Amino acid sequence: MVTLFTHLFLLFLLTTAASPEYTRPGPRPLVLRQHSGSDSDPQQVHVSLSGKGYIRVSWITSDKNVQPTVQYGKTRGKYNLSATGEITSYHYLFYKSGQIHHVRIGPLDPGTTYYYRCGGSGPEFHFRTPPSAFPVEFAVAGDLGQTEWTVSTLSHIGARDYDVLLLPGDLSYADMDQPLWDSFGRLVEPYASTRPWMVTQGNHEVETLPVVYRNAFMAYNTRWLMPYRASKSTSNLYYSFEVAGAHIIMLGSYADFYIGSDQYRWLKADVASIDRRRTPWVFALLHAPWYNSNFAHRGEGEAMRVAMEEVLYKARVDAVFTGHVHAYERFTRVYNNKADVCGPVHVTIGDGGNREGLANSFENPRPSISVYREPSFGHARLRVFNSTHAHWSWHRNNDTGSFVADELWLESLAASKACKPIRVPSKSQNEEP
């Protein structure tokens, strides 16, 4: 007995000495949220930006008779405005989705709370529109999933105010098990129904079924409809939007990206349309990182980097946020594998809390372009204060709260005399193969 206690005590000393700063708790189980209301009650409510001054409200009902109507107004319980949208649904093998409602509402005032009701009855929801000018705050979290880790990340996201959430792919980890898309929608509803959530796809959204469904992204595209048409994109898998003074490019790691592809040509046209006087900040999100010193998913973003990095570099994109690798890693400003003061800061933020766990091993020695790396769950904040300065912080999930483990002041490349955007003559666009 005494020996057992001695051993335990020694073990305690050893573990505390090995990681004095943070002991990572073990694996956490899946959390599957059930629907508690009636068939006509809205569930999985989420909102997204849908062109200047507009919000799209998306929700699901199992009752087929519920109309795709949103009633809304600026006062609790009073809905003096209303809009009607569309209903869609999809089949996936033996699974049939509920009625998926998408309703675009607006024009709305910036920085304003609106109260709304979906389908003419049921509970009241509310969201706040983003501000029209600085400061603006983004929450950034990738590879969310639906585990107790996710619950912890979401509670930290919700614990401090923000304007818009950015998600660089891997949402539900349904992986063809369609009811998991529904439980994910319910899990994020308290957050995604109150602030716009802007997402791009990860590999877990692909859900291709050989022979039966070559058409991938069925669930993702139907449920998480993003405002791609507003940025002249022809695909829900890549688009851009503007918030306050930021232009945000959402790229698709799992859509064609090669030179001459639709995505490539769209990206070139999109960056050519950026007016740095109106949007001094430009950020890009994509799933599979172009820079990664973790052993997980090595080289998976390389083909896309080779195809598209020059376009982002010449456009003077300020930062690129990625997911896929379930850890946190921040690089210095880089271009073509070298530190470059005019390149974007690359950050992997694939640590939302999915069921696959953390990517624990990094290559050693640490490459000089990798500034901070850590395999822990968490989320990030991007606070854009004005046209020249923004603050990035990474908030690791500790058991009871979150802890800022990495932070950085960013200076906009638009303000840098040495890094003026390199204009590409529009003629060359037509010459692409």
**Footprint of Mn ion on this chain (CB under 5 A)?**
170, 202-203, 324
Identity of the residue, 68 or 202, whose beta carbon is nearer to Mn ion in the bound complex: 202
102 assigned to active site: no
Q: How far is the CB of 215 from Fe ion (least distance, A)?
A: 22
> Does 205 engage in binding with Fe ion (CB under 5 A)?
no
The Cα–Cα gap between 37 and 123 comes to 10
Please, which residue, 170 or 329, has the CB nearer to Mn ion? 170
Pairing of strands 197-199, 164-167: parallel
Which of 45, 171 has the CB closer to Fe ion?
A: 171
Least distance between Mn ion and beta carbon 195 (Å): 24
Strands (E), 264-397: 281-285, 319-322, 328-335, 338-339, 345-349, 370-374, 378-384, 389-397
Residue 101 token pair: 């409602």
CA distance 152 to 309: 34
Measured CA to CA, the distance from residue 178 to residue 107 in angstroms comes to 34
Distance in Å, CB of 170 to Mn ion, minimum: 4
- Contact between 309 and Fe ion by CB under 5 A: the answer reads no
Q: Is 351 among the residues that bind Fe ion (CB under 5 A)? A: no
Binding residue (CB under 5 A) for Fe ion from 41, 137, 143, 182: 143
Six token digits for residue 15? 């573990």
Please report, as a single letter, which amino acid is at residue 117: R
Nearer to Fe ion (CB atom), residue 143 or residue 329 = 143
- Give the residue with the Cβ less far from Mn ion, 55 or 320: 320
CB under 5 A: which stretch of 30-38, 135-143, 272-280, 338-346 binds Fe ion? 135-143
329 makes contact with Fe ion (CB under 5 A): no
User: Hey, which residues between 366 and 395 contact Fe ion (CB under 5 A)?
Assistant: none
Q: Which is nearer to Mn ion, 282 or 358 (CB)?
A: 358
Q: Residue 11 in 3-state DSSP?
A: helix
Active-site position among 156, 297, 346, 395: 297
Q: Write the interaction track for Fe ion spanning residues 95-134; mark x where CB under 5 A is met and - where it is not.
A: ----------------------------------------
Identify what 41 binds: Fe ion, Mn ion, none; CB under 5 to 8 Å per kind: none
Of 170 and 270, the one with the shorter C-beta distance to Fe ion is 170
Q: Which does 203 bind (CB under 5 to 8 A by kind): Mn ion, Fe ion, none?
A: Mn ion
Residue 348: phi, psi to the nearest 5?
-95, 125
Spatial neighbors of 427 by CB under 8 A, at least 6 apart, are none
Query: Within 224-319, where are the H helices?
Result: 262-272, 302-314
Whether 323 contacts 201, CB under 8 Å: no
Q: Closest-CB residue for Mn ion?
A: 324
Residue count, binding to Fe ion (CB under 5 A): 2
Closest separation between CB of residue 122 and Mn ion, Å? 34
Token pair in block for residue 148:
């107790």
> Could you tell me the maximum CA-CA distance found in the chain, to the nearest angstrom?
82
Contact 257, 292 (CB under 8 A): no
| CA terminus-to-terminus distance, the chain | 76
Site string for Fe ion, 148-187 (x = CB under 5 A): ----------------------x-----------------
Least distance from C-beta 204 to Mn ion, angstroms?
6
Q: What is the DSSP letter of 425?
A: P
- Give the contacts of 367 (CB within 8 A, at least 6 positions apart): 293
State the minimum distance, in angstroms, from the CB of residue 196 to Mn ion: 23
> Residues of 296-324 as b/e, b for ≥16 C-beta within 10 angstroms?
bbeebbeebbebbbebbbbbbbbbbbbbb
Smallest distance, Å, CB 177 to Mn ion?
16
Residue written as token pair 């990095």: 309
Q: How far is CA 228 from CA 108, 156, 237, 405, in A?
A: 19, 29, 8, 34
Binding site for Fe ion (CB under 5 A): 143, 170
* Residues labelled as active-site residues: 297
